[in-house]
Structure 1
Amino acid sequence: MAKISPVMAIPLVVFASFVGLALVGMGRDDPESLPSAREGAGAPPVVLTDFPGKASFDDATLRDGEVKLVNYWASWCGPCRAEHPSLEALAAEGLPIYGVNYKDQLRNAESFLAELGDPYAAIGQDASGRMALDWGLYGVPETYVIDGAGKIVLRFAGPITARVLESTIRPALEKAATAE
């Protein structure tokens, strides 16, 4: 019987590990969701620089008694462009949406809003990405449903499509409204 040398066994062990991780990942309830340690906790501090010509927001804004969204976006983000009509629709319904412009050039961000519209009740810039780190951001777009007390009810990573709006965002907004 032929013996396998330890050096030859390494690729087999690595392959078996990948197969095991894939099987564990496939067993998750929602393969599109990413875990968030922030859900159920208070929103982290708002530390932003002003977005010239736009209203800004702070920690007190997130705890003003109203349900709201905090949306991280950037002009260079293709999925941000794709989700923009959904944000515009929510804003037209009267939902306050607070925008965090993430690691973007101001001129590009201004052009993005001029072209697509501005659904935000207020906007700030996170040019360094520091606030995003505190919030646990994976990437843009990313949206947080915040209840009136400033607690994160849902963190959604990815673009808000019509399907996501109905299946995920609206139920979270309802949950946030009843939490008050």
Structure 2
Amino acid sequence: MAKISPMMAIPVVVFAAFVGLALVGMGREDPESLPSAREGKTAPPVALNEFPGKENFDDATLRDGEVKLVNYWASWCGPCRAEHPSLTALSEEGVPIYGVNYKDQLGNAQSFLEELGDPYAAVGRDEQGRMALDWGLYGVPETYVIDGEGTIVLRFAGPITSRVLEETIRPAMEKAAQ
């Protein structure tokens, strides 16, 4: 009987590990969603720079007893532009949305809001992306549904479309209100 050298076994082990990871990944409920270690936990601290001419927000704002959204956005982000009408509609319904302008030039961010409108109850700037790191941001746009006690009920990565609004965001807001 021929002996198998340890070097010959390495490709087999690597392949088996890859197959195992693929099977675990395929077993997820929604392969489109990205997992969040923050859901069900208190929102990380708010540490934002001022956005001139706009109301800012802080940790106390996230714990004011109301369901709210925290939305990371940037003027250079095409999907942020695409989701803006959905945010505006929510804002017009009275949903408080707190904006975090992410790694953006102030003038460009101001022009973005002047052109498309400002759906935010308050907005601050995360110029270096430090707060985003604490929140586990994958990229912009990204929206968090926060309950009245400041707990993250949902993190949604990507633009909020009409479908996402009805199938994901609104149900999370209802859950947050309970």
State whether TM-score is above 0.5: yes
Aligned residue-pair number:
178
Give the secondary structure class of the aligned counterpart of 2:108: helix
Give the secondary structure class of the aligned counterpart of 1:123: strand
Number of the residue aligned with 1:104: 104
Instruction: Find the aligned partners of 2:145 and 2:97 in 1 and give their Cα distance.
Output: 9
Partner amino acid, structure 1, of 2:146: I
Instruction: Find the aligned partners of 2:2 and 2:78 in 1 and give their Cα distance.
Output: 54
Number of the residue aligned with 1:77: 77
Partner amino acid, structure 2, of 1:22: A
User: 1:21-44 CA deviation, whole Å, 9 max, x = no partner?
Assistant: 222211100111211121111111
Aligned residue runs from structure 1 range 83-98, under 5 A: 83-98=83-98
Cα displacement (A) at 1:141: 0.8
Give the secondary structure class of the aligned counterpart of 1:125: strand
Partner amino acid, structure 2, of 1:55: E
Aligned residue runs from structure 1 range 111-122, under 5 A: 111-122=111-122
Are positions 1:166 and 2:166 aligned together? Answer: yes
Cα displacement (A) at 1:7: 6.0
User: 1:126-171 CA deviation, whole Å, 9 max, x = no partner?
Assistant: 0011111111111111111111111111111111111111111000
Cα displacement (A) at 1:107: 1.0
Cα displacement (A) at 1:10: 5.2
Change (3 A) 1:14 1:76: farther
% identical aligned pairs = 84
Instruction: Find the aligned partners of 1:141 and 1:58 in 2 and give their Cα distance.
Output: 20
Instruction: Find the aligned partners of 2:11 and 2:118 in 1 and give their Cα distance.
Output: 52
Give the secondary structure class of the aligned counterpart of 1:79: helix
Moved more, 98-107 or 12-21: 12-21
Change (3 A) 1:15 1:108: farther
Are positions 1:46 and 2:53 aligned together? Answer: no
Instruction: Find the aligned partners of 1:23 and 1:118 in 2 and give their Cα distance.
Output: 44
Partner amino acid, structure 2, of 1:100: V
Aligned residue runs from structure 1 range 18-33, under 5 A: 18-33=18-33
Are positions 1:155 and 2:155 aligned together? Answer: yes
Cα displacement (A) at 1:121: 0.6
Cα displacement (A) at 1:19: 3.5
Instruction: Find the aligned partners of 1:147 and 1:134 in 2 and give their Cα distance.
Output: 18
